[in-house]
Structure formats: C-alpha cells, structure tokens
Structure 1
Amino acid sequence: MSALNPTSSVPVAAPQGAHRKRGFWPGLGLAAAIAAVAMGLASLPALQSFGLSALTLAIVLGIAVGNTVFPAVAAQAGPGVDFCKSALLRAGIVLYGFRVTFQEIAGVGWAGLAIDVVVVATVFGLATWLGTRWLKLDRETSMLIGAGSAICGAAAVMATEPVVRGQAHKVSVAVATVVVFGTLGMFVYPWLYPYLGMSEHAYGVYAGSTIHEVAQVVVAGRAIGESAASAAVIEKMLRVMLLAPFLLILSSRIGASGEGAAGKAKIVIPWFALLFVVVSGFNSLHLLPAAWKATIVQIDTVMLAMAMAALGLRTHVGAIKQAGAKPMLLAAILFGVLTIGGYALNVGAAKLFAAIG
C-alpha cells in the first residue's frame, strides 16, 4: 500500500501514536459519514433498481468530497483516511468470507466451477496483455480493470490493489469501468434472454459467471425469475471464492518477476486473502446463528464502504482525466468477451458436462 499523500502535513516517519493524535479520528469519522450516506442512498428503491451498491456510491461521494472539501482538511484527516483505505480494506475483504460457503459449489456443480475458472483466467490474462501491449496502459491499471471484470467488480479491484500497489486514481478508474459495464450488462442480459435458448437456471449461471458486481447479478437474475436469480447468485459467489487463489497466484507471479530489493524476487503473501478462505470455510460450517451472521455482513459492508469512501477522498479528478479513454476501451473489450465469449463458454460447458454425465 502506498505511503501517505505527500500533501499531508503528517511526517511519514512520525510514530503511529502521533498519527492517531493528529488526524486518525477525524479521518475515520469523515470516511464513516460518507459511508453512512452511501448506504442510505443504496437502500432507496430507485437506486436499487439500477444495481448501485453502497460501495459504488461511497467511492462516487468520496471523489466528490475529495475534490472539493477534503483538500482543506487533508492535513487534519489524512491519517484516518489512509487507515481506512489500507488496514480497514483488508479487514473488510476478510469478513467478506461470511458471504460465501463451500457448499455453494454443489449448487452449480463442476461445470459452474470450470466456467468460473476459465472466465477469471481468460479475462484477466487478456486484460493484462491488451492493456499493456496494445493500448500501452500501465500494468497496474490493466491488472485492476482485469480483476474487476474477471471476478467481482469493485471488491476485486480493492482486494487486488494491495498486491499490485496501484495508486488511488488507478483504482478509481478501474472501479468506474466495472460500474459502467456491469450496469450495462444488468440491462442487456434480461433483454437478450428470449434469444439465448437457455433455461432459467442456465441463464442464471451465465449471468453469474460474466456480470461484474454481485448487486448487478441479482438484478439481472430476478428480471427473469427466482430460479435464474438463485443460480446467478450461487455462481457469482463461487466466482467470488476464486478471489483468494487468484491473489495468491498473482502475488507469486509479481514476486517472481524480480521486483524486490536489489533485483531479488520478493513474493508478497496477501494474508487477507488466506484469511478470506479461512472465514469462508468457517462460514461453511454454519456454526453462527443467522442473526449474528447478518450483523457481521452488515459491519463488513460498512467497513468496505468506508474503504471506498477513503479511496475516493484520495482520488483527484485530474488524474482520472489524464488516464484518458483507453481504460474504458479496455473495459469495453472485456465486456464483449464476457458477454459473447461467456455465452459460448456456458453453452459449450453445458453440452460437454451433459455428455460426460
């Protein structure tokens, strides 16, 4: 994770206690306030119909405040904001495991797992190759857009950021692309359904394996029926579970490329990804009462919304504009691959596993 913003008046070498005294609580409070507003807006039916989650709204509001009010108070609130977009983010990803269980794999079978693995590997690999080789984007932006498109939207972008060490504006650009094309998919998929020749269950697996955000998957599934919605959510949660092994593999590849000190390979282990798997495994045991689990999930949403708000606060619109149209073009290509290639993959996998079975 990057160091504090140079514009902050808090010395980088200052003790942790000094950080907390000078700006920890004001920054934490500011991020919490933005998160609270975002969650309130996300609960409105009008915004729910567009699949806009609290995370998406939090970063939008954070960017708005970050480019108007925040510069005047950055020196006083900076440390708390940076804590939210680093430590609080990792903790939120760990608790995200309470949304997933290993038993959900059985709901879509080996075909669903195989589809998700191919989608994640293909889309991320294509994003990195096209972004760096053809569009001449920097590697971090390409990887962040690829992770968001391949796995689970904004949550995947945030989880990948500590591994690739992307700057705040690059993360914001990546989140913006998955919001745009995930929202587009939320409307396009139900419109395409009559022409796909799929059952509701098959359509749900298709939507869950290719649409970006969980909220968008829910909307696209429910537009067809409860059977489609159930299959879509299970397939999407299975895709979310691939986040941890994805981060481990990505971290090892980045380390093996020799980016450590003095040119030596340095593998950064994303411990929060391992803990995500541990939490998912614990959640699979169904030991917690439903009320406790619901409370933990709500707390996790607050933590992730605060992290997104903090990320927005540290994002300058000028940096996003400087990125240009290339990130959006990359995301558009990936959306086409997910929509068209994902459909062909789902149909082919269904036929293959039916023949084997």
Structure 2
Amino acid sequence: MNNKDILYVSPIRIHRKILIFMQTIAPGLVVSLAIAMASAFIADNYGGPTLLYALLFGMSCHFLVENGRCLPGIEFASRTVLRAGVALLGARITLEQIGALGLKTMLIAIIAVAATICVGWISARLLGQSADLGILTGCAVAISAVLPKHENSERNTLLTVVGVTGLSTIAMISYPILSKLFGLDSEQTGIFLGGTIHDVAQVVGAGYMISPATGDIATVVKLLRVAMLVPVVIVVTWLFRARQAPEQRQKIPMVPSFLLAFVVLVIINSTNMLPHAITEGMGQLSRSCLIVAIAALGIKTSLRKLTQVGWRPIIMLVGETIFLAALVLLCLLN
C-alpha cells in the first residue's frame, strides 16, 4: 500500500471509529438528555430546582443500568459531560468581576471555602465516613470529577446533590430573612448569600428577591467560589494521586484538562474577545451539561442504596451549612 492509499483509507477508518463511538454512547446519552430536558421543562413552567428533578427522574430510571446498550452512554454523561459543564463555567467569570469585589470579600470567600472543606474532612473522620465524602460535601458536585472511583462514588455524589439542593432551597427562603435580622446592608447581604448558598440558581433567586444590586453582588461572589475550584481541584488531585499505586498514578494527570479549559475560558472572557451572546450561550451550555450529568448519575444509583447511607452524612451536610453561614456572618459583622 503506497502513501496515497494510506491518506485515502485513514479518514474512512477515523469516520468508522467515530460512528462506532456514537452508536455505543447514543442510547444512554439520549436517555440522560431526555431526562434533563423534562426536568428543565417542569422547573421552568412549574418552579422548583432543576437539578433535583433531574436527579429524581434519573433514579426512577435506574433499571436502564442493567441494559448493556445504555450503560456506556450513561457513564459518558456522568463523567465526560460533567467535566465539560465544569469547564464551561469559566465563560461566566472575568478577572475584572473578581477584582471588583475587593480584598475583604475575596478573603472571606477564600476562608469560607477552605474552612468548609476542612470541616467536611474532619467531620467525615469523626463520624467514621470516607475522606473523599467529607471533601465532596465541602466542595459540592464539581469536585467529584477528580475523586477516586469506588463502589459508593455515585451514591456519595447523589447524596451530596440531594443535600446541597435541599439545603440551598431552604437557604434561599431563610437567608434573606436572616440577613435582615442581623442588619446587613444590600452589599453585605449579597456577599452573605453568594458566600453561603451552595447552588447558583438559589443564589440568584435569593439575591434578586431582595434587589438587583444584591443579586448582582451575590452572583459574582458565588462565581468567585466557583473560580476557587481551580486550586482546590489541583490540591485534591495531587493528594489522591500520591495515594495511588505507581502504575495507577500515571493515569491521573497532575492538572485535569477540564480545569485548564476552565482557566483558559476565564482569561478569554476577561479580555472581552468573545461577544456577549457567545459567553451567555456557553454559560447556558454549562448549566445544560451539569443537568445531563446529574440525570446520568441518578440513573446509575438506586434509591435502595441511597437509603443505606445512614444519618451521619446528613449530619455532615447540615453541620457544614450551619458552620459556613456562621463563619461568613462573623466575618461580615466584624
């Protein structure tokens, strides 16, 4: 076979591999996408948290895991699509937004994130839970992309989603009242809401419930917490990488590629090179990817297994939430 034959055959082989790949992942991916679309439709028209709907609907379709045709696509959605969603969050953040918050606000956000992770890890050790569950509850869903996989990984992630979504919904209603009781002004309230509520949707809802200015500040503070995923994920990756056997360690990158994409998007977005419509679209795509990933995680986990986690992880989540609210309030009032 001469060079011309090779050049002619190679595209056909590449096309065939792509076709086989798509045929393999299509069933599970389409199911996850359908659940995500149904969840978004219900949330948009009847209210409620989209991620929670996606999770519950996905869990009701757990039987699809037993279908060999759907499993590869579900795995793809729960891992690759999740990482894409986290990477695309960078399109919602600019360095100017972060700098405009001021040094005190940035320090509060940094201290709050670091302290919550430490409390999660310590709580896990005291309550006899795995260290990765403590880190996961302290960082929420995005960190799950780099945590080591084991038989309880999906269950832990789903437990965190349920807890975070439920507690964020309660916080969306109660925290504006709490901020008023403590006499916080609109700027302090925005910092408090963005620095304590876990889910972006509930942060936006609580902030704009008070005023546009409070909503803007709350959203930027929350996005600053999202930006802090960069150092957190790097540290967590290195820690768990060091604990792996040498042959497994080579499979774990020093810095995950999706995290590099996140940083690149933040830098590009900060230069105003991209039109607002494109960055807005990327932000919406990020949200869509996260919904699809949560739907897939729901499919992978059975309700029976979720009920076996016991009361300790619930205590961890509630305790971390109360600690975070108290810490940020203390920083704002002093």
Please indicate, yes or no, whether the TM-score normalized by the shorter chain is above 0.5. Answer: yes
Deviation digits for residues 143-199 of structure 1 (CA, Å, limit 9, x no counterpart): 211112xxxxxxxx1343333436111110111111121111111111212211211
Distance 1:27 1:107, change over 3 A: same
Q: Please state how far the C-alpha of 1:346 moved relative to its aligned partner.
A: 2.3
Tell me how far apart the structure 2 counterparts of residues 192 and 159 of structure 1 sit (CA, whole Å). Answer: 29
SS in 2 for 1:312: helix
Which residue number in structure 2 is paired with residue 165 of structure 1? Answer: 149
What SS does the corresponding residue of 2:75 show, helix, strand or coil?
helix
What amino acid is the match of 1:259?
Answer: Q
Distance, in Å, in 1 between the alignment partners of 2:142 and 2:149 is 10
Q: Tell me how far apart the structure 2 counterparts of residues 260 and 284 of structure 1 sit (CA, whole Å).
A: 40
Q: Please list every run of 5 or more consecutive structure 1 residues that lacks an aligned counterpart in the other structure.
A: 1-15, 149-156, 349-357
What is the deviation of 1:347?
A: 2.3
- The reply on whether 1:290 has 2:291 as its aligned counterpart is no
> Which residue matches 1:11?
none
The runs of 5 or more residues in structure 2 that have no matched partner are: 1-16
Which residue matches 2:134? 142
Residue deviations 1:173-227 (CA, integer Å, cap 9, x gap): 1111111211111111112122112111111111111111111111221222122
2:53 is matched with which residue: 33, 57, 60?
A: 57
For residue 82 of structure 1, the aligned residue among 52, 60, 75 is 75
Spell out the pairing of 1:249-268 with structure 2 (5 A cutoff): 249-256=235-242, 258-261=243-246, 268=254
Structure 2 distance, partners of 1:181, 1:199, is 24
Q: Decide which of 301, 307, 313 is 1:321's aligned counterpart.
A: 307
CA 1:327/1:289 → structure 2, altered by over 3 Å: closer, same or farther? Answer: same
**What is the rounded CA distance, in whole Å, between the counterparts of 2:65 and 2:98 in structure 1?**
46
Q: What is aligned with 1:240?
A: 226
Output the CA distance in 2 between the equivalents of 1:293 and 1:162.
Answer: 26
Task: Give, in angstroms, the shift of residue 345 of structure 1.
Answer: 1.8
Higher relative contact order (CA 8 A, sep 6+): 2
Measure, in 2, the Cα distance between the counterparts of 1:345 and 1:295.
Answer: 35
Instruction: Write out aligned runs for 1:41-52 (5 A).
Output: 41-44=42-45, 46-47=46-47, 50=48, 52=49
Number of residues of Structure 1 aligned to a counterpart in Structure 2? 316
CA contact (8 A) 1:177 1:327 kept: no
Aligned-residue Cα RMSD (Å) equals 2.3
Q: What pairs up with 1:205-284 in 2 under 5 angstroms? A: 205-256=191-242, 258-261=243-246, 268-284=254-270
Aligned to 1:4: none
Residue 268 of structure 1, CA deviation: 4.3
- Following superposition, the deviation at residue 294 of structure 1 comes to 2.4
State the TM-score, normalized to the length of structure 2. Answer: 0.88
SS at match of 2:101: helix
Is the CA contact (8 Å cut-off) linking 2:28 and 2:73 kept in structure 1? yes
1:347 maps to 333
Identity of aligned residues (%): 26
Instruction: For residue 340 of structure 1, report the CA deviation from its aligned partner.
Output: 1.5
Q: How far 1:78 moved relative to its partner?
A: 0.8
Q: 1:302: how far off?
A: 2.2
From the CA coordinates, give the structure whose radius of gyration is larger: 2
The answer to whether the 8 Å contact 2:146/2:233 transfers is no
Q: 1:70 aligns with which of 59, 64, 67?
A: 64
